[in-house]
Every structure is written in C-alpha cells, then in structure tokens.
C-alpha cells in the first residue's frame, strides 16, 4: 500500500534525495522547508508519516514535534538530525518521536525505517484486531484507542505497540530486548534505553500516580509487565 509522506527538510539536496527514494517505492510525498509549513500541511491534509528534520527555520523540529503530539497522537514521526548525542535522541523520543535517525545516514536505512513505521502504524500490512482488556485498561487496535476507566488516552504509535505487547499477556515479564523484538520486529532501530522513555511517557498517561504505577510495573533486573491495576509497583 502506498502512503502519503510529509518531509520537513530545509536542505534541498537532502530533501530531493528523500523524495527520490520515496518515489521509488511508489509513495506520494510533499517536501516543505520550514516548520510552519509542516504544521499547516498536517492540519490541512494529514500525512501517513512525517519525516522531520530538527534544525528547521522558523518553527524548529522540536516545536513541530510538540505541536504534533498535542494535536495528533497517532501520526508516526521519524526524526532526522545532525544532533546524534544520546541525550538529543532521548529528548526526541520524549517529545513523541517514533524513531530517530542521525545524519549522515544511508538512504536505504532511512527507507527501511519508513517501511517499519508505516507497517507498525497499520498503513501497510494487517494490524492486530483483537481488543485487549486488563483491569480498567482497554486497548482497541483497530481504532488505535486506549482507555483507562473509560477515559480516552492519547498514545503515539510506538507507545501503543509496547502497551499492546504487554497487555496481550498480563503478568508476563518482558525484558527490554523482548519488547524491542515483539513490538518492532527485526527492523526496529530504537535502543533498549528508549523503551524506558516510552514506559515513562505511558505511565504519565495511564497511571493515577506515575511514581507508584498500578498497571505498568517494573521488574527490577528484568524489564516490565502489565498488572490489572489492583497493586502498586515501580
């Protein structure tokens, strides 16, 4: 299935290269060179994927990511940036990015990540259909909805995938490596440390007290598990 990809990149050669590779895989795309244009396009014609450079003129990529996540939790966001430090990557994930690729990069790797994000978001492939319920936590994969005690919770695609893996087997302990493999497959490119960032963001959204979680529990030295909400952990 072809997708519509919005590319926010102010370096003309980089933007042209990305567009050329997207065209090879029969995706439609739009190239914009500043953050304000990107936000206007997203609000006017929602893309299936946003490829976002952080160092944009006007409204920079950080602010674009913040704005996107405040308005559209489901839109997959692939950040590309010359800022390759671990703290920059983690901040990108903390703001809601689903993947982060440092410049310079191999365009073939970029396209592999594009394919992975589109597949995980359900734009390509067949998404999971079974509704999941753990205590008062409910997941509806077909509608990409999460509810806690009936309250709708906005989750990014990456957060939803991790939560779905855990909720499919309540009580089972998953290592960070298992979550990477089960939620993202062999074409996942994020690191184990990034799982912790997603878990922290999920706790802010689904827990009454993120410091004493009732659902998303840490099993020290191993990883994470989902509980029915009746207990407390860390």
pLDDT value at position 127? 41
The Cα 68–Cα 64 span in angstroms is 6
Residue (of 106, 58, 57, 59) closest to 80 by Cα position: 106
Q: Which residues of 23-38 are buried (b: 16+ CB within 10 A; e: fewer)?
A: eeeebebebbbbbebb
pLDDT value at position 138? 93
CB–CB of 35/60 below 8 Å? yes
pTM given for the model: 0.64
pLDDT value at position 38? 94
- Alpha carbons within 13 angstroms on the beta-carbon side of residue 222 total 9
Tens-level pLDDT at each residue, the chain (234 residues): 578 999 999 999 999 999 999 988 888 899 999 999 999 999 988 899 999 999 999 899 999 999 998 888 889 999 998 887 888 888 888 888 899 998 899 999 999 999 888 887 766 543 445 688 999 999 988 788 999 999 999 998 888 989 988 998 888 888 888 888 776 654 455 677 888 999 999 999 999 999 999 999 999 988 999 998 765 555
pLDDT value at position 53? 94
pLDDT value at position 131? 84
Structure tokens at 50: 């946003």
First vs last C-alpha separation in the chain = 41
């Amino acid at each position: 299935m072809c997708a519509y990809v919005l590319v926010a990149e102010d370096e003309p050669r980089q933007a042209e290269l990305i567009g050329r590779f997207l065209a090879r895989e029969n995706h439609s795309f739009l190239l914009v060179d500043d953050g304000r244009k990107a936000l206007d396009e997203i609000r006017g014609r929602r893309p299936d994927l946003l490829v976002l450079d952080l160092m944009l003129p006007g409204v920079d990529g950080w602010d674009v990511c913040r704005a996107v996540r405040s308005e559209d939790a489901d839109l997959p966001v692939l950040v590309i940036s010359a800022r390759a430090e671990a703290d920059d990557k983690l901040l990108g994930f903390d703001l809601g990015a689903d993947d982060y690729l440092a410049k310079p990069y191999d365009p073939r790797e970029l396209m592999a990540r594009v394919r992975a994000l589109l597949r995980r978001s359900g734009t390509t492939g067949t998404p999971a259909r079974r509704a999941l319920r753990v205590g008062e936590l409910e997941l509806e994969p077909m509608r990409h909805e999460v509810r806690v005690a009936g309250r709708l919770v906005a989750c990014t695609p990456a957060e939803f995938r991790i939560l779905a893996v855990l909720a499919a087997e309540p009580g089972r302990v998953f290592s960070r490596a298992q979550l990477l493999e089960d939620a993202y497959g062999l074409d996942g490119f994020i690191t184990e440390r990034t799982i912790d960032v997603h878990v922290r963001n999920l706790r802010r959204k689904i827990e009454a007290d993120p410091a004493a979680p009732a659902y998303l529990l840490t099993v020290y030295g191993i990883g994470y598990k989902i509980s029915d909400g009746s207990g407390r952990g860390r």
